[in-house]
Chains A and B, each alone.
Chain A
Amino acid sequence: MSKSSAIIDIQSLTKKYKETIALNNLNLQVERGEIFGFLGHNGAGKTTTVNILTTLLAPTSGRAFICGFNVEKEGLEIRKRIGYLPENVKFYENLTAGENLEFFAKLSGIEKPEEKIKSVLNFLDFQKFENKKISQFSKGMRQRIGIAQAIIHDPEVLFLDEPTSGLDPMGVRNLREIILKLNKEKNITIFMNTHLLSEVAKTCTTIGVLGHGELIYKDTLKQTMERFKDENSLETIYFNLDTK
Chain B
Amino acid sequence: MQKIITIAKKEATDSLGDKLFLVLLIFLLMLVVISIVVASMDFQNKVVEYNQSVKILESLGGGADSIYAPQFFPLKMLRSVVDYLEILGAVIGIILGYLSISKEKGKNTLQLLLSRPVKRWEIGLGKILGNSFVIWLVLGIAMFFIYGIMGFLGGAQLTGMEIMKLILVFIFSYLYIMFFFGLTSILAIKFKLLFNALLISFVVWLVIVLIIPQIGDTMDPDNQIPGGFFKAMNIAKSQEKQIMGNFKNYEFVRNATEESSITKHYERLSFALLGVKDEYNGKTIFAILNDKWWDGLWVFLFFLAPLFTELLIFEKNNLLINKE
Q: Residues of A at under 8 Å CB distance from B?
A: 17, 22, 43, 45-48, 51, 54-58, 72, 75-76, 79-80, 82-84, 86-94, 103-104, 106-109, 111, 149, 153
CB contacts (< 8 Å) of B317 on chain A: these are 55-58, 72, 75
Whether a CB of chain A sits under 8 angstroms from the CB of B109 is: yes
CB <8 Å contact, B320 and A107: no
CB <8 Å contact, B117 and A79: yes
CB contacts (< 8 Å) of B277 on chain A: these are none
Q: Nearest B residue to A146 by beta-carbon distance?
A: B112
Whether a CB of chain A sits under 8 angstroms from the CB of B217 is: no
- Give Cα distance in the complex from A209 to B320, angstroms: 24
With contact pairs A45-B324, A55-B317, A58-B318 given, residues A107 and B111 touching in the complex (Cβ less than 8 Å): no
Q: In B1-24, which residues have CB < 8 Å from any A CB?
A: 2-3, 6-7, 10, 14, 17
CB <8 Å contact, B112 and A80: no
- Give Cα distance in the complex from A87 to B106, angstroms: 12
* A-B contact sample (13 more), CB < 8 A, given A76-B117, A79-B118: A46-B324, A47-B323, A47-B324, A51-B320, A72-B317, A89-B107, A89-B112, A90-B107, A92-B107, A93-B107, A106-B3, A107-B6, A111-B2
CB <8 Å contact, B318 and A94: no
CB <8 Å contact, B3 and A56: no
Q: List 17 A-B contacts (CB under 8 A).
A: A17-B323, A45-B324, A47-B323, A54-B115, A55-B114, A57-B317, A57-B323, A75-B317, A79-B118, A83-B115, A92-B107, A93-B107, A104-B112, A104-B116, A106-B6, A107-B117, A149-B112
Partner of A109, one of B3, B17, B111, B324: B3
- Chain B, residues 202-245, CB within 8 Å of chain A (1/0): the string is 00000000000000000000000000000000000000000000
- Give Cα distance in the complex from A17 to B108, angstroms: 21
- Chain B, residues 9-43, CB within 8 Å of chain A (1/0): the string is 01000100100000000000000000000000000
CB <8 Å contact, B320 and A57: yes
Looking at A17, A22, A83, A106, the one whose CB has the most chain B CB atoms below 10 A away is A106
Q: Pick the 3 closest A-B CB pairs, nearest first.
A: A58-B317, A90-B107, A47-B324
- Give Cα distance in the complex from A89 to B116, angstroms: 15
Whether a CB of chain A sits under 8 angstroms from the CB of B190 is: no
Whether a CB of chain A sits under 8 angstroms from the CB of B301 is: no
Q: Smallest distance from the beta carbon of B214 to chain A beta carbons, Å?
A: 40
CB contacts (< 8 Å) of B112 on chain A: these are 84, 86, 89, 104, 149
- Chain B, residues 74-109, CB within 8 Å of chain A (1/0): the string is 000000000000000000000000000000001111
CB <8 Å contact, A56 and B114: yes
Q: Nearest B residue to A46 by beta-carbon distance?
A: B324
CB contacts (< 8 Å) of B115 on chain A: these are 54-56, 79, 82-84
Q: Smallest distance from the beta carbon of B174 to chain A beta carbons, Å?
A: 26
CB <8 Å contact, B3 and A90: no
CB <8 Å contact, A107 and B318: no
CB contacts (< 8 Å) of A109 on chain B: these are 3, 117
- Give Cα distance in the complex from A232 to B320, angstroms: 40
Partner of B107, one of A46, A91, A106, A111: A91
- Give Cα distance in the complex from A92 to B13, angstroms: 12
Q: Nearest A residue to B116 by beta-carbon distance?
A: A107
CB contacts (< 8 Å) of B2 on chain A: these are 106, 111
Q: Smallest distance from the beta carbon of A99 to chain B beta carbons, Å?
A: 9
- Give Cα distance in the complex from A126 to B211, angstroms: 56
Whether a CB of chain A sits under 8 angstroms from the CB of B200 is: no
With contact pairs A76-B119, A79-B116, A94-B17 given, residues A107 and B7 touching in the complex (Cβ less than 8 Å): yes
Q: Smallest distance from the beta carbon of A12 to chain B beta carbons, Å?
A: 18
- Give Cα distance in the complex from A84 to B118, angstroms: 14
- Give Cα distance in the complex from A149 to B323, angstroms: 23
CB <8 Å contact, B108 and A92: no
